[in-house]
Chains A and B, each alone.
Chain A
Amino acid sequence: MASYSTNEFKGGLKIMLDGDPCSIIENEFVKPGKGQAFNRVKIRNLKNGRVIERTFKSGESVEAADVIETNYQYLYNDGEFWHFMDPDTFEQVSADAAAVGEATKWLKEQDLCTVTLWNGAPIIVEVPNFVILTVTDTDPGLKGDTSGGGGKPATLETGAVVRVPLFVQIGEALKIDTRTGEYVSRAGK
């Protein structure tokens, strides 16, 4: 089994901790002049996203995590799993709701997203910061209102509901910031 010594620790390194794959965010070497050396490490648990602080005795070895990030095309949801395909090899993987998480609100068929695989299975699905989605339902706006003030809810093709300006109509394509879930602009055709 592959492993890393604390001397290999750096940001981005993927290690196994308590059975979960984790990513090192920050590594600090601490040592009293005449005492025991430690590595104090800030780590993100890739399964639940939680950030924790851990301590290793310098020189210890830790099991490596088989984690890779790849771009996949989103295919479809069968009600239980979300299916993705590698656009180069056409290889397919399926992710459960825990892996897809919030991304489900913004996933549109054919769109590319970043999938983190642990031992070949998806554990994180990330959509781009900005996506273009079409409005499937919203109250008819007032003609001539371009102020954008106030706003109204609009349902997008993925099912997500965002606040949009009053002038937005059903069938329009919108640019959305997936980090905040906010409307950015109308997307030019």
Chain B
Amino acid sequence: MALEFDAQHASWQPSASLQMLRSRAQLLATIRGYFEQTGALEVETPICSSFATTDPAIESFQLAYTGPGFPASHPLYLHTSPEFPMKRLLAAGSGAIYQICKVFRDGESGRQHNPEFTLLEWYRPDHDHHQLMEDVAALVNSVLPSPREIEYLSYHEIFKRHLDIDPHHSTRLQLQQCAKQHHITDADRLNLPSKDAWLDLLLTHCIEPQLGKDCLSFIYDYPASQASLAKIRAGSPALAERFELYMDGMELANGFHELTHADEQRERFNQNIEQRRTNGQPIVPMDENLLSAINRGLPNCAGVAMGIDRLLMQITDATHIDQVLPFPITRA
């Protein structure tokens, strides 16, 4: 009781040290310098949108606008990443662009999560995901106290190396067996909704902790079912031209060789919405402006989103995201 009382009275104070705030400011300045040098334009796009991400793994906060133009309450969604409007800028001919902004995701709070966090997102025309990975590595190594070795591993390779299993051709049952063999006692009980959820279970429990030990570890070529907004490369199996960056077991960035076909994009949005309906999740409107922009012509490009709070955790050896945020959700 006394403890709760104290905690409540201390919650006006920042959870990050003043030194940490200086490190954050320094990091943002260095990032802006990097983009000035490498030629990308800083942009700002709306935080509130009439549209939302349909991705079933990401939930948007919803709010409402009432006022001139919208006499009845008009639903708006806080963006979960600035991806859609930034692609509209690319379609309008912006060239390379970057943005540093707050994004919002409902339901995510923990050692590496805060529902409101800072994202750095950037796009390079005429890049594929391999070229963009090198760009990401250059940026990260320019902000780390000492540069790290870089490794590039396919999604297939990490499952083969750490679990001796083929992620693309294994069945749900085989993935479940594998989880049991690797001491995930709940594998029998967990009623996971898809094969991808089983892959996520193995990835988060058995593989992620081994990734990026004292290096920058890029994982690329994801299952086509996890393509999100990445191009899918035909083949057996077809693979999503998507990558993730890991440092010391922590996911830091997610990038795509971007899908540039409007019809396929619409089809994926529809699949997402179908999945949401099956799962009983809120149904949100797909971004028609994005689809029009892609239809008009999104240049061949690659884009990536990087968690700045997590990057700051890496730079400062912080163990909890609260240490790098002045006011995390519990104090916001």
Q: A32-B203, A32-B251 are in contact. Are A57 and B191 (CB under 8 A)?
A: yes
Q: A34-B228, A36-B192, A38-B204 are in contact. Are A29 and B185 (CB under 8 A)?
A: no
* Interface assignment of B205: CB less than 8 Å from any CB of chain A: yes
Which of B107-115, B231-239, B258-266, B286-294 is the contact stretch? Answer: B107-115
Give the contacts of B196-218 with A (CB-CB under 8 A). Answer: 196-197, 199-201, 203-205
Q: A52-B185, A57-B191, A57-B192 are in contact. Are A36 and B201 (CB under 8 A)?
A: yes
Size class of the A contact interface (CB-based, 8 Å): 10 to 19
Q: Is the CB of A35 within 8 A of B205?
A: no
Q: Is the CB of B57 within 8 A of A36?
A: yes
Q: Is the CB of A35 within 8 A of B111?
A: no
* Interface assignment of B101: CB less than 8 Å from any CB of chain A: no
Q: Is the CB of B226 within 8 A of A55?
A: no
* Interface assignment of A51: CB less than 8 Å from any CB of chain B: no
* Interface assignment of A184: CB less than 8 Å from any CB of chain B: no
Q: A28-B111, A54-B185 are in contact. Are A34 and B201 (CB under 8 A)?
A: no
Q: Is the CB of B58 within 8 A of A30?
A: no
Q: Is the CB of A36 within 8 A of B254?
A: no
Q: How many Å from the CB of B161 to the closest CB on chain A?
A: 18
Q: A29-B108, A33-B251, A35-B200 are in contact. Are A55 and B58 (CB under 8 A)?
A: no
Residues of A within 8 A of B244 (CB): 32-33
* Interface assignment of A187: CB less than 8 Å from any CB of chain B: no
Q: Is the CB of B200 within 8 A of A33?
A: no
Q: How many Å from the CB of A8 to the closest CB on chain B?
A: 12
What is the chain A residue whose CB lies nearest that of B193? A36
> How many interface contacts (CB-CB < 8 Å) are there between A and B?
73
* Interface assignment of B47: CB less than 8 Å from any CB of chain A: no
Q: Is the CB of B107 within 8 A of A35?
A: no
B interface majority secondary structure: mixed
Size class of the B contact interface (CB-based, 8 Å): 20 to 34
Q: Is the CB of B226 within 8 A of A35?
A: yes
Q: How many Å from the CB of B192 to the closest CB on chain A?
A: 7
Residues of B within 8 A of A36 (CB): 57, 192-193, 196-197, 200-201
Inter-chain CA distance A53–B305, complex, in Å, is 32
* Interface assignment of A37: CB less than 8 Å from any CB of chain B: yes
* Interface assignment of A56: CB less than 8 Å from any CB of chain B: yes
* Interface assignment of B25: CB less than 8 Å from any CB of chain A: no
Q: A29-B113, A36-B196 are in contact. Are A55 and B107 (CB under 8 A)?
A: no
Residues of A within 8 A of B166 (CB): none
Inter-chain CA distance A35–B192, complex, in Å, is 12
Give the contacts of A1-52 with B (CB-CB under 8 A). Answer: 28-38, 40, 52
| Contact indicator per residue, chain A 95-122, by CB within 8 Å of chain B (1) or not (0) | 0000000000000000000000000000
Inter-chain CA distance A28–B305, complex, in Å, is 24
Q: Is the CB of B108 within 8 A of A35?
A: no
25 A-B residue pairs with CB within 8 Å: A28-B110, A29-B110, A29-B111, A29-B113, A31-B110, A32-B203, A33-B244, A33-B254, A33-B305, A34-B57, A34-B58, A34-B254, A35-B57, A35-B196, A35-B200, A36-B57, A36-B193, A36-B196, A36-B197, A37-B107, A38-B204, A55-B184, A56-B190, A57-B190, A57-B191
Residues of A within 8 A of B (CB): 28-38, 40, 52-58
6 pairs of A and B residues whose beta carbons are closest in the complex: A29-B110, A35-B200, A36-B197, A36-B200, A55-B186, A30-B204
